[in-house]
Structure 1
């Protein structure tokens, strides 16, 4: 691998010169009155993360309807998720570098505007090639949002409360992952798949108004080149974390991107909305439950997440003929997955410490690339081996993820305390 200079503003956590200890050190945090978190501003960042991942996953619950309109197969239409994620992965680092000195709210508003416009145009498109171009463009918008949220939240928070601020801002990602497909499926049933994209565009526009009104417009930060990506990748523990993250996320997206097709193959097409609702409820519950214990039990929670996800997938593959067991398996999958972004990002930050800013940019790229790989590989599996092959491929990946997490006791996922 060639050395790549990371002279970019990823807007993540950087070392602070302040003598006051903070959960996650940052540079030049913006002052906040007393010791209160700026909840309204943080909610604006939450909305940005929520919209980004909702837009990315939205087609997964709409594939049969979209494929009919676009005149393509379900597997080809599924590549609308793949291309979006690929654009985010490719764009995150160069776009962050290009906008490093811009004021933060200007970057966020530009990104949200791109997502809003492309969502509306996607609803109008009946052409597959145009839809793919629009999805790629929307993915680039998300490539501006994701690397920005953590650092923006930390700079808004008062001394000593940056960690909680980051958690609030990033909570939009797992909740968007949990609710994006169920909401899309619900709206599609009410007025067609186009309604889901119009609604996403409207919510994005309303979020822009909220951000404009309540989120402070912090200045950009000077470009730093203290760490190179190649240097950070040699830090003990990071590569196992990235491997576990990649296998976990590819497994998830093999199933989630094609969940409507998977349920149809076991005679549950009419229950897709309820199955996805079950997934969403347990995912949100996971965010609430795991968030209260993540600081002290990161290793145990990560091990538990991979094992629970694997058990759910095993039930889906072996006992999918029983609807009740499908609901139980999906509930376990949702609970395992809901807090997984926080678990893996937390592990990466813990293992890299002063290089956490660069590590987060790498983690975002791996996260997005894994979504793309999952969508692409899922399409190949459906076309070549049939829909049933998705569960067994996902299970194999989760076995690899679990083995990596369990074996990473020394550096990647060490016990705390």
Structure 2
């Protein structure tokens, strides 16, 4: 399927040329919650470990358990619900997510907490699998890039404010209040979705390909490989940013580093919204190259406070826009089966996050935190090479 016809069905429900901004913002807020909920343990490692009487490495598995739930459940869940109307399915998934997160907030047992994180990740995967195609389906076809950028701004906001805010709340009160606050916010956003997000019909049965055929659509495999490699590079150092900063002895705290990164990522989202519809391929190459360069600076400039903060800015600008960029490519490659194609996105995304929790912990057993920057630079360079490998099959020039 060519890029000229790839969005024929998914844009069919849009009306006129006006973007449904309130609806897209509501979807973005769900993205904020998903990212903050998944990554919050990274900013609360010492607090959760002390409160539950366990190690920071074990708490790192809170992220991995969430990711594992997404990896295992998303594809079969999306496959079984392709005939469901989108809005009721989204609201059901949000309700399940809120409840599972509330259980984490009150649990006193590590094993039970890991189980609740697994369940929350399962519901998260269903939501991530819907969001990109949903945003495009309710928006004008010619403005799909802008629609995706608006919807995707929730993710960098989660990185910018969700995780640092959770760390601040954990330090000021108790880490459990950070999780409880996200559940309360989830209830409010669910109400907003109920009020302002239009429903969208499921893809007609006649156009639905089996999942194994969707996975083989031109461009889909290379996009998923890039997501895994890039997310592994990002999440390994993001999850264990505290050990890296301790090794640098710059005095930079995790909450400051994550805040700088997150604010810079908003710039990345803004740049993506401006250029995605016109220069998707060049934008992706530039993002991957800048990400790899940030990793190199974290290696060679580790003793300099200024260099580490500059690297955080470059890291945020480069990585902030990757979600809409890759979702746009995957949605176009999926065409009429964009929902099914996007169901593989959170699987790839969270397979990398799951691996990052284990990979990062393994690296820290053989070296100090600076080795995490080496992994970021090496995997970032590999990502850049893969974007060039996919130039003809997955990433169009315009």
Is 1:248 equivalent to 2:214 in the alignment?
no
How far does residue 350 in structure 1 lie from its aligned partner after superposition?
Answer: 4.2
Call closer, same or farther: CA 1:172–1:262 in 2, change over 3 Å: same
Residue of structure 2 in register with 1:95 after alignment: 77
Residue of structure 2 in register with 1:391 after alignment: 373
Residue of structure 1 in register with 2:47 after alignment: 65
Is 1:266 equivalent to 2:277 in the alignment?
no
SS of residue in 2 equivalent to 1:227: coil
Pairs within 5 Å for 1:179-258: 179-223=161-205, 226-258=208-240
Instruction: Give structure 1 stretches of 5+ with no counterpart.
Output: 1-13, 16-20
Pairs within 5 Å for 1:10-409: 24-27=7-10, 29-30=12-13, 32=15, 35-157=17-139, 160-223=142-205, 226-268=208-250, 271-351=253-333, 353-409=335-391
How far does residue 53 in structure 1 lie from its aligned partner after superposition?
Answer: 1.7
Q: Distance in 2 between matches of 1:354 and 1:221?
A: 7
SS of residue in 2 equivalent to 1:78: helix
Q: Distance in 2 between matches of 1:160 and 1:304?
A: 24
How far does residue 183 in structure 1 lie from its aligned partner after superposition?
Answer: 2.1
Instruction: Give structure 2 stretches of 5+ with no counterpart.
Output: none
8 Å contact from structure 1 (residues 75, 383) kept in 2: no
8 Å contact from structure 2 (residues 6, 332) kept in 1: no
How far does residue 386 in structure 1 lie from its aligned partner after superposition?
Answer: 3.5
Moved more, 293-302 or 352-361: 352-361
How far does residue 46 in structure 1 lie from its aligned partner after superposition?
Answer: 1.6
**Number of residue pairs aligned between Structure 1 and Structure 2:** 397
Cα-to-partner distance string for 1:209-260 (whole Å, 9 max, x where unaligned): 2122222344545445643344344444433332222111100000111112
Q: Distance in 2 between matches of 1:151 and 1:317?
A: 38
How far does residue 161 in structure 1 lie from its aligned partner after superposition?
Answer: 4.5
Residue of structure 2 in register with 1:6 after alignment: none
8 Å contact from structure 2 (residues 10, 338) kept in 1: no
Cα-to-partner distance string for 1:194-215 (whole Å, 9 max, x where unaligned): 2211211111111122122222
Question: Counting helix residues as a fraction of each chain, which structure ranks higher?
Answer: 2
